[in-house]
């Protein structure tokens, strides 16, 4: 897990508005969130927990969890759902049990993090680069 820890800067996004629409996010929030270029931070805690933190001018969110253990999270649209994150090689796979359900895969290749967001048949991708710190 330590190899994934760090700060990632936003590079690009594809089809994210359609993903948010599939989740049922309202028009105004979709347009606001879609315009953001957040910084994404991954930290490993001493107790074995992982922290995902998304920082933007609009909102900062933080999610703390342990692999393969269900936890409750509040999505950026205010919906509370149950989630489980598991690791499969260079991928961190998050399954959100919401209505509708969603899956977010964070794939790490070198200094790139590719986030694939799926809701039903809709797929969006977001690319981040690891900051050199």
Torsion of CA 19, 58, 41, 21, to 10 degrees: -10
Query: Is the bond preceding residue 112 a cis peptide, omega within 30 degrees?
Result: no
- CATH code: domain 2-130 is 2.40.128.20
The mean per-residue pLDDT over the stretch 79-97 comes to 96
Q: What pLDDT score was predicted for residue 88? A: 96
Mean pLDDT score of the chain: 93
- Greatest alpha-carbon span in the chain: 40
pTM exceeding 0.85: yes
Q: What pLDDT score was predicted for residue 18? A: 97
pLDDT digits (tens, 9 = 90+) for 92-120: 999 999 889 999 999 999 999 999 999 99
Report d(CA 67, CA 49) in Å as an integer.
Answer: 8
Say if residue 132's pLDDT is above 80: no
């Amino acid at each position: 897990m330590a190899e994934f820890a760090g700060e990632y800067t936003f590079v690009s996004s594809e089809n994210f508005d359609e993903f948010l629409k599939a989740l049922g996010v309202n028009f105004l929030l979709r347009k606001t969130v879609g315009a953001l270029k957040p910084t994404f931070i991954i930290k490993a805690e001493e107790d074995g927990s992982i922290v995902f933190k998304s920082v933007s001018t609009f909102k900062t969110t933080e999610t703390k969890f342990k692999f393969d253990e269900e936890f409750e999270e509040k999505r950026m649209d205010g919906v509370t759902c149950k989630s489980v994150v598991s690791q499969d090689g260079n991928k961190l796979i998050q399954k959100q049990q919401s209505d509708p359900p969603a899956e977010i895969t964070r794939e790490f290749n070198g200094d790139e993090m590719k986030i694939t967001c799926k809701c039903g048949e809709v797929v969006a991708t977001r690319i981040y680069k690891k900051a050199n710190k």
